[in-house]
């Protein structure tokens, strides 16, 4: 097989704007990747026809807000993001909306408790199977203790619910063990084409509900 160029693109640009005041923070951002290559997904034959995924522009908007009410030590925040890919809808798994809301409550001067919910909405299609249910939700809770202004310890728990065709994962960015390689397929106990086991022996499959605990420490220099 030759080199994989999926994900490469031509010109890219982005910008963001931020405002702070009276306990409130607002942010808006935009990013564009021109002619993003997804030809590795092309050529699969499904009920809607042969996948025509190729190169197309991908771009996104994100809006966020955070408010802290100092008298009670309460902080609430939220994010909305919208991602587009100018491609054939039936084969387009790169376009969706996303939502995130969280709350943090101080418990005295040294402790915080927090929780969050994230939601990935459905995509218009999928290059391998066409239109599918690939929404996902994640719930998290955490507790943080401050030893001093620079040193904290934090314990957290996350639970993700993937719908039948979704394959979102916990830990793919490098925090802890990568649970899933973020490719699509059905569960298997052994390596098989399109699903093969990776690295630490975990597989790539859809419709699962991974969960994890995490314990960590931070120190700010």
Q: Report the distance separating Cα 161 and Cα 137, nearest Å.
A: 5
Q: Which of 6-10, 148-152, 176-180 has the lowest mean pLDDT?
A: 176-180
CA 42 to chain centre: 24
Tokens linked to 85: 């890919």
Sheet architecture: strand order including 151-162: 12-21, 24-37, 55-69, 74-85, 96-106, 111-120, 136-148, 151-162, 211-219
State which of 1-10, 73-82, 192-201 shows the largest mean pLDDT.
73-82
Average pLDDT over residues 56-83: 97
Give 145 or 91, the one with higher predicted confidence. Answer: 145
Residue 204 in this model has a pLDDT that exceeds 70: no
Fold of 12-219: Porin (2.40.160)
**For residue range 160-202, what is the model confidence (pLDDT) as tens digits?**
999 988 888 886 555 555 555 555 555 455 544 444 454 444 5
pLDDT score at 165 = 86
Phi-psi region of 49 (alpha: psi -120 to 50; beta: other; left: phi over 0): left
* pLDDT mean across residues, the chain: 84
Whole-model pTM over 0.85:
no
Apex 95 CA angle, 164 and 208, nearest 5: 20
Q: Report the distance separating Cα 168 and Cα 162, nearest Å.
A: 7
């Amino acid at each position: 097989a030759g080199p994989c160029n999926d994900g490469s693109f031509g010109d890219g640009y982005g910008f963001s704007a931020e405002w702070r005041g009276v306990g409130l923070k607002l942010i808006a951002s935009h990013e564009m990747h021109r002619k993003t290559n997804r030809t590795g997904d092309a050529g699969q034959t499904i009920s809607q026809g042969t996948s025509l995924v190729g190169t197309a522009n991908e771009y996104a908007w994100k809006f966020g807000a955070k408010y802290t009410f100092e008298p009670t030590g309460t902080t609430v925040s939220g994010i909305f993001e919208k991602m587009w890919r100018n491609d054939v809808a039936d084969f387009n798994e790169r376009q969706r909306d996303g939502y995130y809301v969280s709350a943090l409550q101080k418990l005295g001067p040294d402790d915080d408790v927090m929780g969050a919910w994230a939601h990935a909405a459905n995509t218009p299609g999928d290059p391998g199977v066409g239109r599918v249910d690939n929404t996902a939700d994640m719930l998290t809770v955490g507790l943080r203790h401050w030893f001093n202004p620079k040193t904290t310890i934090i314990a957290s728990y996350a639970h993700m619910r993937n719908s039948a065709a979704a394959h979102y994962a916990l830990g793919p960015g490098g925090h802890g063990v990568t649970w899933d390689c973020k490719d699509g397929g059905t569960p298997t106990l052994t390596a098989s084409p399109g699903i093969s086991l990776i690295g630490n022996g975990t597989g790539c499959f859809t419709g699962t509900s991974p969960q994890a605990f995490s314990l960590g420490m931070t120190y700010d220099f």
